Amino acid sequence: MTATDTTVPRNVPTLAGRRIVIPGGTGGVGEGAVRAWLQAGAEVIVPTRNAARGAELRRMLGQDGGRKSLHIMEIEYGTFGAAERLAAAVREEYGEVTDVVASVGGWWSGDGIWAVTESEWQRFFLELVTTHVALLRAFVPGLPTGGTYSLVLGGSAFTPVPGSAIISMEQAALRMMRTVVAAEAEGRVGVHGLLLGPVATRHRPYVDADMITADEVGRVTVGYAAAANASSEAVLRTHADVARELERVGYPPHLIADASSEPVRPAVPPARAEAAWPPLPAELEALTLSASDALYPSVRSSYMRQGAPRAVIRPQNDEDAAAALAYAAQVRREVGDDVPLSVRSGGHGIAGTSTNDAGIIIDLGRLNAVDLRDPGSGLLRVQGGARWGDVAQVLTPHDLALTTGNFGDTGVGGLATAGGHGYFARSQGMTLDYVRRVKLLTADGNVRWVDAEHEPELFWAVRGGGTQVGIALEFEFEVPRLHSNGGRANIIHQEIQYVVADLSDFVEAWGQWMREAPREAVSFLMLQRGRAGEFVVAGRTVWAGDDIGAATPTLLAARELGAVVHESVQALSYPQIIPTPHSQHTGQQRIQMRNALVDTVNRAAGEALESALMHPVTAIGELRALGGAVSDVPREATAWAAREQEALLGIWANPAPLGVIDTAFSGLQGIATGMYGAYSSDTRAAAARLAWPGSTGERLRAAAVRADPEHLFDRGLTVREA
């Protein structure tokens, strides 16, 4: 894409001839709106009170910041008179305005509303509301028929936020203002309200994988203008919410994706030239969805990939699962080995292989029972299709907690068979270290429990080998107790954000800090490029338990790692830090992920991570602590071989050809001594050799060949391809 007025990415709606004003466009969310409208070919005017922030916006927009169609105006607009002067100045210099996106906001937190001072009330309620009313008065009457006015608000407009009463009240007032103006506009202008959950911006990196981005917010406002739909209000908390809203207005997300994204996959599987499929067994008919079924759109895709399977079979018991697998094997024999077979637990797998095109999915989502059999010993039986967030809700009242990744929508079966690196890794180890038995469905249709005494080689392989030896239908775990003072799986949670000039020094210091920290502490970092060669680092420290006295030295030491711009420390229950939105999967996450497990977090690791972050394709870097209890388990005890490494370093890359991502990741690849296979988009043979190195790979390959001689389970990362 070149920095001209006429270049528009492939499949982006063309808004050439539109002229939009975006107050608040220099902010994190506003930046996404500016980028989206520029890429759609519109002329964009961004008023700002601060010329430096306008210059920063141009830098952050990259090549889009050089477009002639972007105008930065240094001008006030916070009062009725100032907003009228802005509108007049825009008309005089650029012409009539067709659209407005008002992304003006602020945040306040404190004690109860009874403690609010008059100056706080003036600044955070009256001034913000006045600014929005002033902008609306100045622009809406002059917008043409078919124009749009989009008001960007937060979820506090309808969800009370204790300690932030002023903002909740201000947002609720603006929400009602939009509703009234929409009625008064009588359809001439589309007056839209976007009620947002947490948004990933340059100021606030991702907290969890389903957080929407500023660019997605911008795309929705573009969709409103392109579709010229009636006034509306949308709650946008997850990628699925964004996808549904764009579908509603007639601009599904794939139509406004970046030009480097993969093309959308068809809703109906492509026709195959091979032999006709055998008829579906009668016992599976009521359990199977195909493209003609109303529920098919809700099951066709995974979190990471859009799919168009021919059949999605949703077993309700072990016998159904065995019948589904038998049918898949029959199809393979009669039609061909290239008919893909996917097994889905939660559908959140990073490689996206829990969906496919023109094949079969065995979806375990209905096998989701969670049974805490003995709270005293922590004996837990749970089916493979359950979600970890739901498991945590059952365990929490008994002060039980199991390290289970950092996102509650992740499926039990996928995580527990692949590894399970979470917030208690250093104090507990991996999720699979607490598996005591697995009910396994193997390729021959056999269902049986395996453990250390009954078919121990299968038990070894299923803990770390994923689905390579079969489908895990059910697990028994021995869940540890946290021994928290609150008695409800309480933890200490520190959110801390840094601005870092020397990333190599910072990473080396972080490694030394984690090395010296008690095992109760674990740290996860998300890193992004900032301005002027700096990096923004969002850290999350979790202390297993709520002994604040014991945790304090470690939390204080975290402050010494770099320049802190934000910090909060809270005592929370474990489910509060693993969001579980139960989002529908639509292939909404388009990033590509890579990771490297490294023996030592040192300056060289920091240099490699910095090199990856500086590559244009890299959106986010990641650093997660290992060690502690993970390293207590002998390497040969499970098929998870990474017992000696100190940390996981990774990148989230924007959609791009493999070679481009390989180049961005090359520095980290060069220092990797292992890889977490389930946390990577790379399913090539070299990645498998790194995930299951040496004798672990040889042993797993032998187990897989014995259990699955026809290689029925061939999707995703598999040691047999290495």
Q: Which of 97-101, 104-108, 622-626, 654-658 has the lowest mean pLDDT?
A: 104-108
Of 447, 465, 450, 457, which is closest to residue 325 (Cα–Cα)? 447
Q: 208 pLDDT exceeds 60?
A: no
Q: 6 pLDDT exceeds 60?
A: no
Domain membership of residue 591 (yes or no) is: yes
Q: What was the pLDDT predicted at 13? A: 73
- At 99 the three-state DSSP class reads strand
Check whether residue 207 and residue 297 sit in a common domain: no
Domain membership of residue 484 (yes or no) is: no
Mean pLDDT of 235-263: 66
Mean pLDDT of 446-467: 98
Question: Which phi and psi (to 5°) does residue 354 adopt?
Answer: -85, 10
For residue 46, list its beta bridge partners. 72
269 falls in which pLDDT band (50, 70, 90)?
very low
Check whether residue 179 and residue 289 sit in a common domain: no
Of 43, 493, 585, 68, which is closest to residue 306 (Cα–Cα)? 585
Domain membership of residue 515 (yes or no) is: yes
Mean pLDDT of 329-358: 95
* Span 433-453, pLDDT tens digits: 999 999 999 999 999 999 999
Q: 258 pLDDT exceeds 80?
A: no
DSSP string, 291-336: TTSTTGGGTS--SS---B-SEEE--SSHHHHHHHHHHHHHHHHHH-
Number of domains the chain contains:
3
Query: What CATH number does the domain containing 642 carry?
Result: 3.40.462.20
Q: Which two tokens stand for residue 574?
A: 């474990």
Domain membership of residue 456 (yes or no) is: no
Domain membership of residue 713 (yes or no) is: no
Listed in sequence order, the residues at least 6 apart from 553 whose beta carbon sits closer than 8 Å to its beta carbon are none
Angle at 281 between CA 279 and CA 283, to 5 degrees: 155
- At 112 the three-state DSSP class reads coil
The number of beta carbons lying within 10 Å of the beta carbon of residue 565 is 12
Check whether residue 560 and residue 625 sit in a common domain: yes
Q: What was the pLDDT predicted at 688? A: 97
* Span 125-147, pLDDT tens digits: 888 899 999 999 999 999 999 99
Please report how many Cα atoms fall inside a 13 Å half-sphere around the Cα of residue 42, on the Cβ side: 32
Check whether residue 249 and residue 304 sit in a common domain: no
Q: What was the pLDDT predicted at 270? A: 46
Q: What was the pLDDT predicted at 583? A: 84
Domain membership of residue 155 (yes or no) is: yes
Mean pLDDT of 515-528: 97
Domain membership of residue 205 (yes or no) is: yes
For residue 235, list its beta bridge partners. 195
264 DSSP assignment: P
Dist. CA 646–CA 632, nearest whole Å: 13
108 falls in which pLDDT band (50, 70, 90)?
low
Dist. CA 75–CA 633, nearest whole Å: 63
CB-CB contact of 194 with 220 (8 Å):
yes
Query: What CATH number does the domain containing 301 carry?
Result: 3.30.43.10
203 falls in which pLDDT band (50, 70, 90)?
low
Mean pLDDT of 423-429: 98
Q: What was the pLDDT predicted at 264? A: 35
Angle at 543 between CA 408 and CA 422, to 5 degrees: 35
Q: 257 pLDDT exceeds 70?
A: no
Q: 542 pLDDT exceeds 70?
A: yes
Check whether residue 555 and residue 674 sit in a common domain: yes
Listed in sequence order, the residues at least 6 apart from 186 whose beta carbon sits closer than 8 Å to its beta carbon are none
- Residue 202 structural domain: 19-256
Dist. CA 138–CA 84, nearest whole Å: 5
Q: 261 pLDDT exceeds 90?
A: no
Counting residues of the chain whose pLDDT is more than 70, the rounded percentage is: 92
Check whether residue 148 and residue 249 sit in a common domain: yes
Dist. CA 404–CA 618, nearest whole Å: 26
Dist. CA 708–CA 469, nearest whole Å: 6
Q: 266 pLDDT exceeds 50?
A: no
The identity of residue 600, as a single letter, is T
Dist. CA 488–CA 393, nearest whole Å: 10
Q: What was the pLDDT predicted at 9? A: 42
Check whether residue 563 and residue 624 sit in a common domain: yes
Domain membership of residue 137 (yes or no) is: yes
| Residue found by looking up tokens 């370093």 in the block | 649
Check whether residue 240 and residue 347 sit in a common domain: no
* Span 696-708, pLDDT tens digits: 999 999 999 999 9
Check whether residue 328 and residue 192 sit in a common domain: no
Q: How large is the C-alpha radius of gyration of the chain?
A: 26
Check whether residue 250 and residue 311 sit in a common domain: no
Q: What was the pLDDT predicted at 466? A: 95
Q: 544 pLDDT exceeds 50?
A: yes
CA 552 to chain centre: 30
Check whether residue 225 and residue 314 sit in a common domain: no
Percentage helix, strand, coil, to 5, in the chain? 40, 20, 40
Check whether residue 310 and residue 199 sit in a common domain: no
Q: What was the pLDDT predicted at 530? A: 87
Counting residues of the chain whose pLDDT is more than 90, the rounded percentage is: 75
Q: What was the pLDDT predicted at 358? A: 95
Tell me which of 330, 363, 396 is where a domain ends: 363
Higher-scoring residue by pLDDT: 513, 337 = 513
Dist. CA 345–CA 447, nearest whole Å: 17
Q: What was the pLDDT predicted at 228? A: 78
Give the chain's mean pLDDT.
90
Query: What CATH number does the domain containing 192 carry?
Result: 3.40.50.720
Dist. CA 427–CA 676, nearest whole Å: 19
Q: What was the pLDDT predicted at 7? A: 39
